[in-house]
């Protein structure tokens, strides 16, 4: 397996209702303010937002045990914000691990969603996508020049708009625990980012920190031997 310019993760188009909902709500809020509206019918509050809409800290995202304090600070480096839309109930580490167990040992065709991270409505749009996939084996071959290789798991690569952690998992939760699952966990900017001219190393470390945090939480949820070989803290120096 070679980690190419897209992290050697196969691409697949995914329609996300949550992102569309956010954009529609943003337009609705703008229109409401312009017209001076004071209330809405149905399940929306006076501010035009659904009654269940919440804004939370980074450590409360993705089920509440996926983003460490370090990763939450890294999210601020990436997004410029320390507050985010609360994650959908389906976006938890427990659910992602269950989905992976259900698929194993089949190699996934594309990336499966583990979590989506959005800045609050009313702020400048910024969205991150956390994904997982099952690979045939450990990554081999050189990585694209945009990536810095880090010594975590089977391989970790980080760029200024994405990072991937590859780790191996042998677990009693897997159908055949004698086999090893090769897992790729990715965190990436959702859209068409421009490569920054400054803070390149800071962004690479930030993406790697978030990817490590979710990967470690996933390994623990799967009950991987030795946590899939992942360190307790992210290793951010080049391999």
Segments of the chain scoring below 70 in pLDDT: 1-50, 192-195
Task: Quickly count helices (H) and strands (E) in the chain.
Answer: 4, 8
Closest CA to 163 of 74, 50, 35: 74
Preceding peptide of 105 cis, ω within 30°: yes
What pLDDT, on a 0 to 100 scale, did the predictor assign at position 150? 97
Distance CA 182, CA 216 (A): 14
131 touches 185 (CB < 8 A) = yes
CA distances, 23 to each of 4, 118, 153 (Å): 32, 11, 37
Report d(CA 33, CA 47) in Å as an integer: 9
pLDDT for residue 51: 72
**123-154 tens-digit pLDDT:** 888 899 999 999 999 998 889 999 999 999 99
Q: Is 86 exposed, middle or buried (0-12, 13-18, 19+ CB in 10 A)?
A: middle
pLDDT of residue 178: 75
Is 9:184 a contact under the CB 8 Å cutoff? yes
Task: Output the pTM of the full model.
Answer: 0.80
Distance CA 235, CA 31 (A): 47
pLDDT at 77: 95
CA distances from 105 to 76, 94, 131, 172, 187 (A): 36, 18, 18, 13, 23
Residue 174: CB atoms within 10 A of its CB come to 19
């Amino acid at each position: 397996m070679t980690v190419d310019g897209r992290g050697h993760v196969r691409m697949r188009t995914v329609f996300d209702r949550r992102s569309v909902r956010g954009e529609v709500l943003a337009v609705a809020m703008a229109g409401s303010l312009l017209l001076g509206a004071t209330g809405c019918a149905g399940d929306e509050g006076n501010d035009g937002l659904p009654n269940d809409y919440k804004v939370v800290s980074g450590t409360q995202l993705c089920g509440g045990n996926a983003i460490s304090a370090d990763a939450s600070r890294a999210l601020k480096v990436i997004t410029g914000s320390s507050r985010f839309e609360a994650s959908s109930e389906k976006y938890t580490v427990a659910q992602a691990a269950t989905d992976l167990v259900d698929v194993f040992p089949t190699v996934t065709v594309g990336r499966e969603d583990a979590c989506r991270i959005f800045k609050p409505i009313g702020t400048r749009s910024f969205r991150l996508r956390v994904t997982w996939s099952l690979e045939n084996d450990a990554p081999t071959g050189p990585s694209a020049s945009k990536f810095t290789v880090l010594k975590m798991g089977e391989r970790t690569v980080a760029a200024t708009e994405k990072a991937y952690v590859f780790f191996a998992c042998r677990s009693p939760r897997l159908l055949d625990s004698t086999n090893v699952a090769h897992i790729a966990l990715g965190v990436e900017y959702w859209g068409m980012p421009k490569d920054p001219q400054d803070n390149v190393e800071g962004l690479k470390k930030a993406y790697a920190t978030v990817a490590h945090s979710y990967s470690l939480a996933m390994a623990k949820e799967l009950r991987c031997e030795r946590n899939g070989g992942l360190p307790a803290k992210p290793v951010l120096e080049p391999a």
